Structure 1
Amino acid sequence: MAEMTALDTMMEMGFSRNRAEKALALSGNQGIEKAMDWLIEHEDDPNLDDPYVAPQGDVLGTSEKTEIAAAEVNFKENSAQIQQNASLSEEEKKEQLKRLEELMKQRQLEREEREKKDEIDREKQRRKQGQELSMIRQKLQEEEMRKIAEDRRKEKMEDIRAKQRVREKIERDKAERALKFGGGGVTAATSPVQPTPAVPQSSHVPAAKREYDECRLQIRLLDGTQLTQSFKSREQLAAVRLYVQLQQQDDTENFNLMTSFPRKVFSEEDMEKPLQELGLVPSAVLFVCKK
């Protein structure tokens, strides 16, 4: 695979051929970095995209080729003149031809030395351009990595802020419900449910219906946790729902309350009814279920 030139490299980087040629030539063909510096300095020039015209005159290598060709022609012409010169003896002709051949060999050696030197210079230039290109690519990669890291940091911060907003909203909702339904009804009782003592009934006189001021509820959460809590018998079922919301860590909205026997799922209308009217007094077992 042929090695890329400085012009090919700049075109691969996105510069137009005209701009790349102009920048390389007018920066003295000193490499990609100098050419890019030149483009940055002249990016506001109105004639930056005008077609590039190389200066007239000797182009690199042209004078050398002309000199070699002229030397070869002169050698042939001088050789012919020496052979045709009748005033020279054979020995003199051989001597002059020998000196001419030596001169030609000397020029060939000088040309080879120049070519070797030029090749070394070109190799140095190629290596320099390769190093410059490697540094440019490394800088681009570092910039890209920094940008990716910054984007990830911003996403993480935004995620943290979003979670904080959700927590704050939950706290506000809890506070609002506490103000609306909390009227002094929820008490922090965690003792197990005590069985209601049996009321002896006379076989002759019917027992009078007892009025209860409190309701003791046993509540089973979604995760299996069992809570026991006392409420006023005239409190609304919404107070029980608020108590469950405050106890749950997750899914504080999407649930219903129900009894198992007889099975009944309480509706939104039931939330406004007192516990006594819903048949939960003096004690009952409630289950938390998903909507």
Structure 2
Amino acid sequence: MDWLFAHADDPDIDEPFDAPKGNVLGKESTESTGSAIQEGHGETATSSGASAEQDLQARSLKCDECSKLLKSELDAQAHAAKTQHSSFSESVEEIKPLTEEEKKEQLARLQERIKQKRLEKEEEEKKDQIAREKMRRNQGRDLGVAKQKLEEAEMRKIAEERRREKMEEKLARQRVKEQIEKDKRDRAAKFAKEKEASNPAASPAAKVASPTPAPAASQPPKEYTDCRLQIRLTNGQALTQTFGAKEPLSAVRLYVEMNRTDAQGPFSLMTSFPRRVFSSSDMDMPLDSLGLVPSSVLIVTRMQ
């Protein structure tokens, strides 16, 4: 039986057995039978050794760290790359093929793992999107704050410039008023001196010298050929020029138009004391007939 089991895979096992010719019952057949039996026992021992050797042959690889069975070296390399395990040994255990149920279960686990990975990736992308949206809003808010600060600084700068312009305009008006008052005082003092010079009998020295007043001799008025004018512009600056006493007022107006440094535009001329605004009909009149000789102050005003 052992021999049959050992030679069951032989190619000639199914062929008919031919008995050797010329054999005689008795000794020879017995010897042949004994030799056949011996040959059978020898082949049985050889097949038993081959089967044992085949059972001891390595059929898989085993991880010494986690005791997992692997089919080939490629599986062992993949396992080492995944788990960082480095100790492997050969094993005689054979990895049984998976049944249909185990295949379905393993496929279901694989699909579940893929689904879980996809959900984790979607969750991570959602978190990244929320973080990017927060960053964008923060940048927009910071940009709005910076823009508002810049606008406030620009408004403060404009307000400061307007305040400075108003202060300068106020100071200019104050200087013009002070100059006008000074001109009034100078003209009053000059008129008083001219009056005293033309009427010496009214002086205290004359009163002491003669107890009875004597009638003063009338002197003809002094004639002036020149007229010195100081012209005040609207920006506080002044122009000083000498004109002929017989020149018309239009010559003064032309001189102002050619030499003014303030804002351009239509203007009129006036005196402050006594206050008089010259009209277009006064432009052809000479300066002495307008009471501007020998010196006067003219003020330039904007026409509304």
**TM score, norm. by length of structure 2:** 0.37
**TM score, norm. by length of structure 1:** 0.38
Larger Rg: 2
